[in-house]
Amino acid sequence: MAVKKRPKTLANGRPPISKPRERMTAQRSRTIIRTHHRLHKQLAAAQKTGDLQTAKALEAEIEKNGGIALYQAASKQGQANDRGGDSSRLLVEWLAELNLLDRKARGRHPTEKPSLQCLEVGALSTANEISKFPCAIEMTRIDLNSQGPGIEKQDFMDRPLPTSDHGRFDILSLSLVLNYVPDAPGRGAMLQRIPNFLRSTGGDSLPLLFFVLPLPCIDNSRYIDETRLLEIMLSLGFTMVKKKLTAKLCYYLLHWTDSAKPARFEKKEIRSGPGMNNFAIAVE
Ligand SMILES: C[S@@+](CC[C@H](N)C(=O)[O-])C[C@H]1O[C@@H](n2cnc3c(N)ncnc32)[C@H](O)[C@@H]1O
């Protein structure tokens, strides 16, 4: 017997109603971020020893875990107001306290070239708080994986070194990026590279580095504590201007002067205990 077709309702012809995208739970985004970091560390170790087979397997596993795109989506969730928020809000607050930024300039459009130039390394968004002052701060944003227009796809370690102040910046933001680098010498090399991008002609309190790390990098690592971190930064010419510690993150605003006292910092155990992590920075 032929099956009788039911008449189509009006709703059949309508485009589907767009449902709001589901948010990841905080637990899921943490798991994605941790797994991505762990696999990258293992990959760097395999590449270092030339174990190509393991490296290939790890690359496949990183993709299976959603790759950098899912990692960035998980990180973006962390920027939501109810999950700790956008770290650049504190940068804005500190710049205002230093009289480098007028809060009233928020949302105003530039009529001339802004007086401050900022390089944001590891940029996930063009709508974060520091981007809301286009008349005062000209933003240049880069990331290993661009999320869209306004963010250049570029590895900071491959960014051509400026040959004049024209290509340098008054502010460099490195928020939750150093801990992405999978090994200690790579982290040291990233920090050593920063001064090349800073111009020292902007005034007494410039140039500045806005530097954010997960708190466990300094308060629960066998190799780094705040004293050692600041020693490393001082050797590169950075002195601390502002600092804030929260339950999850440590934020620093560091002033760079051309006064580096180059020194070697090895990966050296400074304390130990159960449950500590192995975050380290080595400067050659
Ligand atoms: C956890 S997200 C942090 C994003 C944002 N800055 C924040 O504070 O929330 C880290 C970002 O750094 C980027 N990143 C890591 N190493 C980088 C490098 N060498 N050059 C450019 N971007 C890098 C990653 O692609 C990722 O999007």
Ligand 1 pocket (Cβ < 6 Å) reads 68, 72, 75, 79, 87, 121-122, 124, 142-145, 155-157, 175-177, 180, 212
Q: Has residue 269 got a pLDDT over 50?
A: yes
Ligand 1 atom with the shortest distance to the CA of 120:
6
Which tens digits make up the pLDDT trace of 14-72? Answer: 544 444 456 788 888 889 988 999 999 999 999 989 999 999 999 999 999 899 988 98
Q: Which two tokens stand for residue 31?
A: 């798991």
Q: Strand 152-153's sheet: what is its strand order?
A: 152-153, 137-143, 116-121, 171-175, 208-214, 249-256, 238-245
| pLDDT score of 2 | 54
Q: Which two tokens stand for residue 152?
A: 């250049």
153: CA distance to ligand 1 center in Å?
A: 11
Q: Which two tokens stand for residue 228?
A: 């050692």
Residue type, 85: G
What residues are paired with 212 via a beta bridge? Answer: 175, 251
158 labelled as ligand-binding? Answer: no
pLDDT, average across residues 209-237: 97
Which tens digits make up the pLDDT trace of 145-199? Answer: 998 999 999 999 999 999 999 999 999 999 999 999 999 999 999 999 999 999 9
| pLDDT score of 75 | 83
Residue from 180, 181, 197 whose mutation best tests the ligand 1 pocket (most atoms within 8 A of CB):
180
Mean pLDDT computed over every residue of the chain: 90
pLDDT, average across residues 77-101: 84
Helix (H, G, I), strand (E, B) or coil at 152: strand
pLDDT, average across residues 63-92: 82
| pLDDT score of 14 | 53
224: CA distance to ligand 1 center in Å?
A: 21
> Which is more confident, 6 or 77?
77
| pLDDT score of 52 | 92
DSSP secondary structure code for residue 2 in this structure? P
Q: Has residue 254 got a pLDDT over 80?
A: yes
> Which is more confident, 250 or 7?
250
Which of these ranges, 77-86, 120-129, 235-244, has the smallest mean pLDDT? 77-86
113: CA distance to ligand 1 center in Å?
A: 27
| pLDDT score of 17 | 45
Ligand 1 atom with the shortest distance to the CA of 125:
5
Please tell me the residue having the least CA distance from ligand 1 atom 13. Answer: 122
122 labelled as ligand-binding? Answer: yes
Q: Has residue 211 got a pLDDT over 50?
A: yes
Tell me what ipTM this predicted complex has: 0.99
Q: What is the rounded distance in angstroms from the CA atom of residue 69 to the CA atom of residue 109?
A: 31
Which of these ranges, 66-70, 114-118, 232-236, 244-248, has the smallest mean pLDDT? 66-70
| pLDDT score of 22 | 61
Q: What is the pTM of this model?
A: 0.89
Share of the chain above pLDDT 90, in %: 74
